[in-house]
């Protein structure tokens, strides 16, 4: 999984500290839990398919929280899969909107096609 670059990592870290100072514990905890230990400095390729895969994997972790909460004896993985596919796309779209990028914008870590610089 791709890690955050140091610029956005440090900005989010500062925002987590500010949230904590303002007693916004849930926000601070959410940011700190998501950031992980250190940012990634080297540029690696990270394409849209990998983004979708990472979102889907993360949503599976969240789905298991719901399953644990209800302590059910069984869960239909295929039904959960279908819901998570829809949610991953919706979440990506919502976050793109929140950070001010267009959904058709190509990320800077996409591998360049032949002829692109």
For position 97, what pLDDT does the model report? Answer: 96
Examine residue 117 and state whether it is found in any structural domain, yes or no: no
For position 42, what pLDDT does the model report? Answer: 60
For position 116, what pLDDT does the model report? Answer: 64
37 shares a domain with 13: yes
66 shares a domain with 12: no
Contact 53, 84 (CB under 8 A): no
Rounded CA-CA distance 31/15 in Å is: 8
53 shares a domain with 99: yes
38 shares a domain with 8: yes
Q: Which two tokens stand for residue 97?
A: 């909107």
- The model carries a pTM of 0.71
Rounded CA-CA distance 50/57 in Å is: 10
Average pLDDT score over residue span 76-92: 95
63 shares a domain with 99: yes
102 shares a domain with 56: yes
Average pLDDT score over residue span 21-38: 84
Rounded CA-CA distance 58/52 in Å is: 10
63 shares a domain with 85: yes
**Domain interval for residue 64:** 45-108
First to last CA, the chain: 25
């Amino acid at each position: 999984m791709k890690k955050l670059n140091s610029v956005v990592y440090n900005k989010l870290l500062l925002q987590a500290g500010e949230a904590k100072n303002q007693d916004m514990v849930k926000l601070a905890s959410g940011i700190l839990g998501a950031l992980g230990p250190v940012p990634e400095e080297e540029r690696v390729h990270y394409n849209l398919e990998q983004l979708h895969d990472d979102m889907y994997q993360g949503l599976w972790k969240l789905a298991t929280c719901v399953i644990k909460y209800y302590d059910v004896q069984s869960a239909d993985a295929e039904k959960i899969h279908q819901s998570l596919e829809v949610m991953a796309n919706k979440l990506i779209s919502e976050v793109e909107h929140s950070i001010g990028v267009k959904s058709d914008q190509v990320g800077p870590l996409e591998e360049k096609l032949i002829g692109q610089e």
